[in-house]
Amino acid sequence: MIIAIDGPAASGKGTLAKRLAAHLGLPHLDTGLLYRAVGRAAIDGGIDLEDADATAEIADGLDVASLDESRLRGREMGEAASVVASHPKVRKALLDLQRRFAHQRGGAVLDGRDIGTVIAPGAEVKIFVTADAEIRARRRHLELEKRGDAPPFASVLADIRKRDARDAGRADAPLKPAPDAHVLDTTALDVESAFAAALAFVERHRH
C-alpha cells in the first residue's frame, strides 16, 4: 500500500507520516529532506540557490543513505528547500528516486508537497494535511524555540506565508490536493486526534 501525505509547511504531515508508517510497519520517506539536502549542499558549496542547473546537478548526485537529518532541520534549510524545489530541473532529478521508494515491494508512506499529484498519483491512500497559517507558524515557532533557533513569531509567520505562496504558485507541480485526496484540517486537532483521523482514512481503504 502506498500512502501519499501532502500539505504546506508545518501542517503536521511529517509527524503524521512517521506515526502511520510505524503503526503499519511501512518504510517512510520525508521527501522534503531531499530538497533540504540539495539546499544544504548548495549553501555549503557557495552555490546560488536560484541557479537551477547547479542545484539540479547536486540533486542528480544525491545519496539518500547519507542524509544527515540533524543538519537539514531549521528555518534556513526550510527556506532553502522551498527555493530549490521551485526549479523544474531539480524536481525532475529527484522524481525517479522518490518513485522508486514509493513503489518498493509492500509499499511505503511518503510525505511532501506533490506525492499524491505527481510522485505517486496511483497511491491507494492520499491525505492532504492543512491548517491555518497562524496555527502552523505557532507550531513551527515552538519547534524552533526547543532547538534554541527561534526568531520573532512575526518573522516565522511571514516565512510560512512566503513559502505557501511559492509552493502553490510554482509552474511545476504546485502544492494542491489531489482530486481524490482526503483533506485533513489539523487547525483544531492535537497529534493524537490527527493520527486517529488519518488512520481511519487508511483503514477505509484496507477493507
Annotated binding-site members for ATP: 7-15
In Å, how far from its chain's centre is CA 57?
21
Per DSSP, the three-state class of 160 is: helix
| Residue 82, C-beta contacts closer than 8 angstroms, at least 6 positions apart | 9, 35, 163, 166, 167
Distance between CA atoms of 121 and 119, rounded to whole angstroms?
A: 6
Binding-site residues? 7-15
Provide Rg for the chain, Cα atoms.
16
Q: Residue 201 burial (CB < 10 Å; 0-12/13-18/19+)?
A: middle
| Residue 191, C-beta contacts closer than 8 angstroms, at least 6 positions apart | 12, 15, 19
Write down how long the chain is: 207
Distance between CA atoms of 54 and 10, rounded to whole angstroms?
A: 28
Q: Half-sphere exposure (CA, 13 Å, Cβ side) for 156?
A: 22
